[in-house]
Amino acid sequence: MRNSSPSRTIPLHDLRQQALPLPKASTGAASDARSPLIDTLGRPLRDLRISVTDRCNFRCSYCMPKEVFDKDYVYLPQTSLLSFEEIVRVARQFVGLGVQKIRLTGGEPLLRKNLELLIEQLARLRTPDGQPLDITLTTNGSLLARKARALRDAGLQRVTVSLDGLNDSVFRQMNDVDFPVSEVLEGIAAAQQAGLGPIKVNMVVKRGTNDHEILPMARHFRGTGIVLRFIEYMDVGATNGWRMDEVMPSAQVIEQLRSAYPLVALEPCAPGETAQRWAYADSHGHADPQAGEIGVISSVTQAFCGDCNRARLSTEGQLYLCLFAHQGYDLRSIVRASEEDGALQQAITSIWQARSDRYSLLRATQAADSSPQGARRVEMSYIGG
């Protein structure tokens, strides 16, 4: 079905192509792996998210609404995508500059053919002090039952599975392709069996759509070793028709959970962690390790830009410094221009050193960006979550 709303006329395909000019290299730019590369706000580069496809077999309304991503939508051609060799070349440079964690994402990353081969190569990379990387993947779980074992054998350590409810009709409505919840649960079980843990399950909470699934989800995953995380519905991209009144603030999620289970706040595991962690409490009010923990990701109501250490590489090799960016930097042309990696390393260095992105923090202090520029924000399915 075609939609005649104004958003349908935004030439999304064209927006993807516009790259920012490279910032001028600062003198004495850090290419020395011992001194961390930091941006203008003192944030180190630690986490690289790599989108391996802009395609998806779901049409979650908050991410790839059917009205926009319909049969006429033009996805990136194969020649535009970074090959696995190119992705590994870029990743190697990032790792040399401080990245310790790589997350594969998309679109739906398991739709990318032979993804295991990419994982195998990434798993061989080492940090400057010889440590293996933390490699993970975010998936909608639809193909996980089939692929979990091969992913694990290739060197993937853990997965995050997105699941927005346990009620089958709510879930089918949210993925908007009538996909049954049972198959995602089978995927999660297969990932557990394959040792892809600790598994995280991400639930985007949309008020009025699936907020009544918060407690059933908590009940289901409590005590399983799986960490359930509730994500505030975000104003990413320009197509999901985001409205503040559909955001369920994390504080209210916690309040709901507390009505059923006592919780105790936990310290963050690592700097730059996106989730605030809570443990289920025992009868003495202490964290109960058997019951496990949950997390809330309050991207809208409690900005965590202050220690955001994440860079995002789009499917076609554009580097984005923020989930809410309008434009990226074209690393693909640098990769394809030369087999030498010096220019690539210099480009990443100068781009990160010039970074000042902090959209969520600014959103909290001024009106959300509803300008024509705001309507040009890049889609999450293109740069990955």
Q: Is 352 in the site for ligand SF4 (CB under 6 A)?
A: no
322 binding partner (options ligand SF4, ligand SAM, none; Cβ < 5 to 8 Å by kind): ligand SF4
What separation, in Å, do the N-terminal and C-terminal C-alpha atoms of the chain show? 27
Smallest distance, Å, CB 159 to ligand SAM? 9
Neighbouring C-beta atoms of residue 80, cutoff 10 Å: 15
The single residue among 94, 179, 230, 359 that binds ligand SF4, judged by CB under 6 A, is 359
**Dihedral sign from CA coordinates of 57, 294, 101, 136:** negative
Contact of 351 with 333, CB cutoff 8 Å: no
Q: Beta partners for 321? A: none
Distance of alpha carbon 232 from alpha carbon 300, whole angstroms: 6
295 binds ligand SAM (CB under 6 A): no
In the region spanning residues 308 to 337, those forming contacts with ligand SF4, defined by CB under 6 A, are 308, 310, 322-324
R_g (Cα) of the chain, nearest Å = 20
Binding mask 87-126 for ligand SF4 (x = CB under 6 A): -------------------xxx------------------
Binding mask 126-155 for ligand SF4 (x = CB under 6 A): --------------x---------------
Residue numbers 153-192 binding ligand SF4 by CB under 6 A: 162
Alpha helices in the chain, H assignment, sequence order: 12-17, 84-96, 115-123, 144-154, 168-175, 181-194, 214-221, 250-258, 331-337, 342-353, 359-365, 380-383
Binding span for ligand SF4 by CB under 6 A among 21-29, 177-185, 276-284, 302-310: 302-310
Site for ligand SAM in 142-171 (CB under 6 A): 162
Q: How far is the CB of 12 from ligand SAM (least distance, A)?
A: 15
Site for ligand SAM in 210-269 (CB under 6 A): 231, 233-234, 236, 240
Q: Which residues pair with 51 in a beta bridge?
A: 105
Which partner, ligand SF4, ligand SAM, none, binds residue 234 by CB below 5 to 8 Å per kind? Answer: ligand SAM
| 43 in Cβ contact with 308 (< 8 Å) | yes
Using a CB cutoff of 8 Å and minimum separation of 24, what contacts does 264-272 make? 266/293, 271/46, 271/307, 271/309, 272/43, 272/46, 272/47, 272/307, 272/308, 272/309, 272/310
Residue whose entry in the numeric block shows the structure tokens 């853990």: 158
| C-alpha distances in Å from residue 36, one per residue of 48, 150, 349, 379 | 15, 34, 11, 30
Q: Which is nearer to ligand SF4, 166 or 257 (CB)?
A: 166
The minimum distance between CB 343 and ligand SAM, in angstroms, equals 30
Closest alpha carbon to 204 in 217, 221, 188:
217
Shortest distance, position 382 Cβ to ligand SAM, whole Å: 9
Binding site for ligand SF4 (CB under 6 A): 56, 58-60, 63-64, 106-108, 140, 162, 304-305, 308, 310, 322-324, 357-360, 381
Binding site for ligand SAM (CB under 6 A): 56, 62-63, 105-106, 108, 138-140, 162, 202, 204, 231, 233-234, 236, 240, 380-381, 384-385
